[in-house]
Amino acid sequence: MRKKIIGITTDVLFYIAGCFLYSTAVTMFISSNEISPGGLTGIATALNFLFALPSGIMLLILNIPILIIGFIKFGGAFIFKTAFVTFFLSVSLTITDTVLPQFHIDKVLAAVFGGILMGVGLSLVMLRGATTGGVDILAKLVNRRFRHITVGKLILLMDAFVISIATIAYRNIESALYSVIAMYATSRVMDAVLYGSDKGKMIYIVTEFPKEICKDINSDLRRGVTVLSAKGGYTGITRSLLLCTVRRYEVSAVYSIIDKYDRNAFIVVSDAGEIIGEGFKALK
């Protein structure tokens, strides 16, 4: 119980810190210089520019139907965490828009530093197994229908659409170019924080519920699992040994899956210096 409370507390602290960093970047550097942060936040800031509608409230309104559909389709802890992050992001964006100054500086500097801050904020959220909702959930929903299009490509297409809308709202083609710079900076920071180089985590799981755990890891994380037979040297009992390789930010999600079925599972997590194969780095 104590371990679970510590885990939940850590999640919440990461989410709060991540949301405030992201909101700070949007308020001080991004929206103030007519740059789009992409995603539903980009639509919310464009509506704020055009009609003076509060960005935080608009972000929440835009996310509510997507979260409801996501809960119906996916359910589970992922949507619950994402709903919490989405709500708090809306709150933090409302607070930062009210209390923080807006810097009108060189737009390249605004795009770079805003993108870096957004990348750190999003990374803190994703390290604890959640997202900021919106485009991420939409991309997963569309991917279920069109599996030949990857989630990454769908998110890119949706962000391009949002940037186009923002460009029309700001009536400035340069805003699209600066938005690309900001999103590139964001993606580079997230890659560095979440992925390192090509590093990941190798997880060994000794459990009495291999089928259930394998099924959830396959469906929720889209990661493969190798099932081995393991015999205890002392007890002589034969159990299943699961071997799974994931990105660092996916480890907490694996813990949640294991905890759902087998709280007595024996788990070993080790660093993987380089991972080559499907879902990771391609063999050159």
pLDDT in tens, 241-258: 999 999 887 888 899 899
DSSP assignment of the chain equals -HHHHHHHHHHHHHHHHHHHHHHHHIIIIIGGGT----HHHHHHHHHHHHH---HHHHHHHHHHHHHHHHHHHT-HHHHHHHHHHHHHHHHHHHHHHHHS------HHHHHHHHHHHHHHHHHHHHHTT----THHHHHHHHHHH-TTS-HHHHHHHHHHHHHHHHHHHHT-HHHHHHHHHHHHHHHHHHIIIIITTT-EEEEEEEES-HHHHHHHIIIII---EEEEEEE-TTT--EEEEEEEEE-GGGHHHHHHHHHHH-TT-EEEEEEES--BSTTSBPP-
CA distance 19 to 32: 18
Structural contact between residues 137 and 83, judged by C-beta atoms closer than 8 angstroms? no
Give yes or no for residue 198 having a pLDDT over 80.
no
Considering the domain 200-272, what is its CATH architecture? 2-Layer Sandwich (3.30)
Q: How confident is the model at residue 197 (pLDDT cuts 50, 70, 90)?
A: low
Mean pLDDT of the chain: 89
Cα dihedral across residues 153, 159, 161, 164: positive or negative: negative
Give yes or no for residue 192 having a pLDDT over 90.
no
Structural contact between residues 18 and 88, judged by C-beta atoms closer than 8 angstroms? no
Instruction: Establish how many alpha carbons lie within 13 A of residue 118's alpha carbon, considering only the half-sphere containing its beta carbon.
Output: 31
CA distance 44 to 56: 7
CA distance 18 to 196: 19
The domain spans of the chain are 2-195, 200-272
List the Cα angle 96/194/36 in 5-degree steps.
Answer: 40
Q: Measure the CA dihedral 163/47/141/205, to 10°.
A: 90
CA distance 244 to 269: 10
Per-residue burial over 153-192, b = 16 or more CB atoms within 10 Å of its CB, e = otherwise: ebbbebbeebbeebbebbeeeebbebbbbbbebbeebbee
Mean pLDDT is lowest, of 17-31, 102-116, 216-230, for 216-230
pLDDT in tens, 44-58: 999 999 999 999 999
What is the predicted pLDDT for the residue at 195?
64
Q: What is the pTM of this model?
A: 0.74
Q: How confident is the model at residue 216 (pLDDT cuts 50, 70, 90)?
A: very high
pLDDT in tens, 79-127: 888 899 999 999 999 999 999 999 999 999 999 999 999 999 999 998 8
Strand 200-207 to 238-246 pairing: antiparallel
Q: How many residues does the chain have?
A: 284
pLDDT in tens, 153-188: 888 899 999 999 999 999 999 999 999 999 999 988
